[in-house]
Chains A and B, each alone.
Chain A
Amino acid sequence: MTGFFDLPTIWAFVIAFAVFAYVVMDGFDLGLGILFPGFKPGPERSRVMNTVAPVWDGNETWLVLGGGGLMAAFPLAYAIVLPALYAPIIAMLLGLIFRGVAFEFRWRDPRHRRTWDIAFTAGSIVATFAQGVTLGALLQGIAVEGRAYAGGWWDWLTPFSLLVGASLVIGYALLGATWLIMKTDGVLQLKCYTLARNLGIVTLICMATVSAATPFLSGAYYEAWFAWPRVLFTAQVPLLVLICTVVFFIGLRRGWEFMPFLMALAFFTLGLIGLGVSIFPHVVPQAVTIWQAAAPDDSLIFMLVGAVVLIPIILAYTGYAYWVFRGKTGHEGYH
């Protein structure tokens, strides 16, 4: 039942990929919302918004695929995790509502543009923080009895989950700042170089703290990271972070435009790989494995046929959309 490339394992990777795609793509546009108060009202803010206005909608869709895929492939996990993380998930949804409508509303109502700018920022921060808290709460484990969540309503609220929440806010802000380095020029770009450097330092401190704390949340995580000979493999992760850190700061100092963003993405990629190392093969950490939660093979095969054909097509036209809007962004949209 626990072969390495059976259907549940493949689906675990597909969903992990959806979450990864979500984090790297919606990460930078949520980051813009987090950074928004730092930009001058008027053309500067409009320009920042316009760097993602044509693509944010597609970015956010990966979240729906992650959630919908979880329900389809691992219904038991979906049924346990969502009630357990009820409050942060509702908060995330409400945050995403404000952030999403702000893209259109701020253009339609110039008199209340400041209000929608605040909604954009607040929505982005709440959604990001809630995602971080969700992740932290997942990592620290969920009480399960039978086929349902069995813990209390505030179990998710711990110093660790709050730390992960705050770290994610900083991390997304870093993604946003490095994205803007690519998409803008002039004064705005200079501002973003400074922002990116400071945020980079804080992000790395946050990553180190979370990484240091995680193995001590449970014996299983400690084993996953430090058991011999696994450690030969797992040790590559912090090593790569170190290399990326060096490249990141060199890139900032030399004024490279693409490298800082790529390195920020690399931090997130490595962070997610680290997460995978910790929890695999569980889908509800420390409680339910992917094989226990998996839907019947018929469901997994039916979806896999679609995923194999469709996900590459999705990636192709997503890439095309980014290509259409390549280069530096100006001030005006279609509005």
Chain B
Amino acid sequence: MFEQADAVLLARIQFAFTVSFHFIFPAFSIGLASYLAVLEALWLKTGRDVYLGLFKYWLKIFALAFGMGVVSGIVMSYQFGTNWSVFSDKAGPVIGPLMAYEVMTAFFLEAGFLGVMLFGMNRVGRGLHFAATLAVAVGTFISAFWILSANSWMQTPAGFSINEVGQFVPESWLEIIFNPSFPYRLVHTVLAAYLTTALVVGAVGAWHLLRDRANEGARVMFSMAMGLVMVAAPIQIFAGDMHGLNTLEHQPAKVMAMEGHFQSHPDGAPLILFGIPDQERATVDYEISIPKASSLILKHDLNAPLDGLETVDRADWPYVPIVFWSFRIMVGLGFLMLALGGFGLLARLRGNLHQSRPLHRFALLMGPAGFVAVIAGWVTTEVGRQPFTVYGLLRTAQSASPLDAPAVAASLLAFILVYFIVFGAGTIYILKLMAKPPQITGPAGDMEDDAQPPVRAAGITPASSVSTGRAIGGQHGTHEGGPRR
């Protein structure tokens, strides 16, 4: 099995590795670009320095994340050819134009206006600068539109025929672009990007509130982030449920793997909360489940029959353990986000949004949750559609380039090495920027506020004194009693 599968397996690992790394950055920058546009709009409307301060603060972080997203994205666009050349030959006539449209409508827009957004504050008027920020934000959204359309088409292909050399030939572009799973995937993914950003912004706000409750920038960003989580988390759970129903209709084997249903359940399927799926024996060990709940969720009927993987040709099974667990991680984090949103709402109603230490700690812990959930969701949908690249039509094993294993292994090794060095450094730089408290100083329109060296030291010392002086709840201060609550 090894000799033959080696190169394909390595190519799959390479794709999974590079796409997972890449996906982190757009997941963050889609939301952040919108956030920046909102901040700049608020600044233009109200003239309050705090919005400009926050804009500058997050702009630097955005620039780093965006840069890393671009360079890792270029790798993705060439990997189709290097490692998946047969797929490119066959699906290129359908997938290629979608990606070309992404480049022409989105990539250029973002890249073209990024320079004005980063460097142009003193060169163009406020209105034009805001237009540039808006262009970048819209660009990230259009980009998501095309990429998810292409991905969705691979999951639920539509609007094509197959020609004599085995290529997919477009018949209807409307059906291709708006293929059956696309609307659900787009909504689910864009909401995920917004939530991811909100959780990061919320965590950074929480981190600085834990140090200095009076920091105006931290207060504003925390409040905005919690507001978004409160609204987006429940919508996301609803959207995820709709997406799941769509998947059941078009990719039933994926849902069977997500649910861990090897056997069919003619009179109501249980919802497996925990268990260890065994692919070989087609069982789930140590199962803890709620009877009939899966039928209730998927069919809205306690006794509705649900098929299991036993009804599917074994050669067409996805690898269940990965899908089963990645799905649970995503859903679990989704409910934690809902809890955070609820907690935030409660604190807001009680008027202690900026005082509640437990809330701040919870928000801080949830900072990376969006990234984990996004990757887990991606794994669920991508591993769940295996063993196909174009669902039901083109197998992964038949999509790969005619490469020798050592060539793919060498490039995989190079990617791992470079990604860990480069994106590791980038992550450290982003964290360093986040560790600085947001400064709301200086006259509006001045972008070069980094030039004043004492800012950083001065920001920390008085902050703790302000914090103890203002601590109404008493013992949740900065001293020994702190960490216990």
Contacts and interface: CB of A to CB of B under 8 A. Distances in A.
A72 B92 contact: yes
Interface string B395-437: 0000001111001000100110010001001100100110000
Contacts of A72: 92-93, 95-97, 99-100
A96 interface: yes
Contacts of B432: 108
B114 to A, nearest CB: 5
A157 interface: no
Interface stretch (A1-9, A178-186, A299-307): A299-307
Interface stretch (A199-207, A222-230, A260-268, A310-318): A310-318
A190 interface: no
A89 B75 CA distance: 10
Given A82-B82, A147-B89, A318-B108, A306 B100 contact: yes
Nearest to A299: B93
Interface string B62-75: 01100110111111
B82 A83 contact: yes
A58 B111 contact: yes
B112 A314 contact: yes
Contacts of A86: 82, 401, 403, 407, 411
Interface stretch (B38-46, B115-123, B370-378): B115-123
Contacts of B178: none
B89 A76 contact: yes
A57 B401 CA distance: 30
A90 interface: yes
B81 A83 contact: yes
A206 B121 CA distance: 43
A335 B119 CA distance: 9
B403 to A, nearest CB: 6
A65 interface: yes
Interface stretch (B162-170, B303-311, B477-485): B162-170
A159 interface: no
A178 to B, nearest CB: 21
B2 interface: no
Contacts of A108: 64, 429, 432-433
B450 interface: yes
Contacts of A94: 414-415, 418
B107 interface: yes
Interface string B47-90: 00000000000011001100110111111011011100110111
Interface string A93-131: 110111011011100110000000000000000000000
A103 B169 CA distance: 41
A67 B448 contact: no
Contact of A317 (B59, B113, B118): B113
B192 to A, nearest CB: 24
A299 B103 CA distance: 16
B9 interface: no
B411 A296 contact: no
A63 interface: yes
Contacts of B447: 334
B13 interface: no
Q: Determine chain A's interface SS by DSSP, over half rule.
A: helix
B287 to A, nearest CB: 45
A166 B407 CA distance: 24
A149 B86 CA distance: 11
B82 A90 contact: yes
A299 B173 CA distance: 9
B96 A68 contact: yes
Interface residues of B, number: 77
A247 interface: no
Contacts of A20: none
Given A60-B70, A96-B71, A89 B165 contact: no
A79 B118 contact: no
B170 A299 contact: yes
Interface string B271-305: 00000000000000000000000000000000000
A65 B401 CA distance: 22
B70 A57 contact: yes
A75 B93 contact: yes
A157 B407 CA distance: 15
Contacts of B109: 317
A324 B92 contact: no
B92 A57 contact: no
B433 A67 contact: no
A93 B81 CA distance: 13
B123 A324 contact: yes
A54 B170 CA distance: 38
A311 B100 CA distance: 11
Interface in B92-148: 92-97, 99-105, 107-116, 118-121, 123-124
A79 B93 CA distance: 12
A295 interface: yes
Given A54-B120, A72-B99, A318 B112 contact: yes
A153 B74 contact: no
Contacts of B249: none
B114 A306 contact: no
Contacts of A317: 108-109, 112-113
A64 interface: yes
B119 A333 contact: yes
Given A61-B103, A76-B89, A334-B448, A325 B119 contact: yes
Given A67-B81, A73-B96, A302-B170, A101 B119 contact: no
Nearest to B425: A105
Interface in A21-75: 53-55, 57-58, 60-61, 63-65, 67-69, 71-73, 75
B316 interface: no
Contacts of B267: none
Nearest to A62: B108
Given A76-B89, A299-B170, A314-B108, A306 B118 contact: no
Interface string A208-233: 00000000000000000000000000
B116 A64 contact: no
Given A54-B120, A105-B426, A147-B89, A89 B82 contact: yes
B171 interface: yes
B115 A71 contact: no
B115 A325 contact: yes
Contact of B111 (A61, A147, A311): A61
A90 B11 CA distance: 13
Contacts of A82: 78, 81-82, 85, 88, 401
27 contacts: A55-B115, A57-B70, A61-B103, A64-B107, A67-B78, A71-B80, A71-B99, A79-B85, A79-B88, A79-B89, A79-B92, A80-B85, A86-B82, A86-B403, A89-B81, A93-B78, A103-B67, A104-B64, A147-B165, A299-B96, A299-B170, A302-B173, A314-B112, A318-B112, A321-B116, A334-B118, A334-B119
Interface of B: 59-60, 63-64, 67-68, 70-75, 77-78, 80-82, 85-86, 88-97, 99-105, 107-116, 118-121, 123-124, 163, 165, 167, 169-171, 173, 401-404, 407, 411, 414-415, 418, 422, 425-426, 429, 432-433, 447-448, 450
Given A79-B81, A321-B115, 13 more contacts: A54-B116, A60-B111, A61-B103, A61-B112, A64-B77, A68-B77, A82-B82, A93-B78, A101-B68, A295-B97, A298-B169, A303-B100, A317-B109
The 10 closest A-B pairs by CB, nearest first: A75-B92, A72-B96, A54-B115, A82-B81, A79-B89, A79-B85, A57-B111, A295-B93, A100-B71, A108-B429
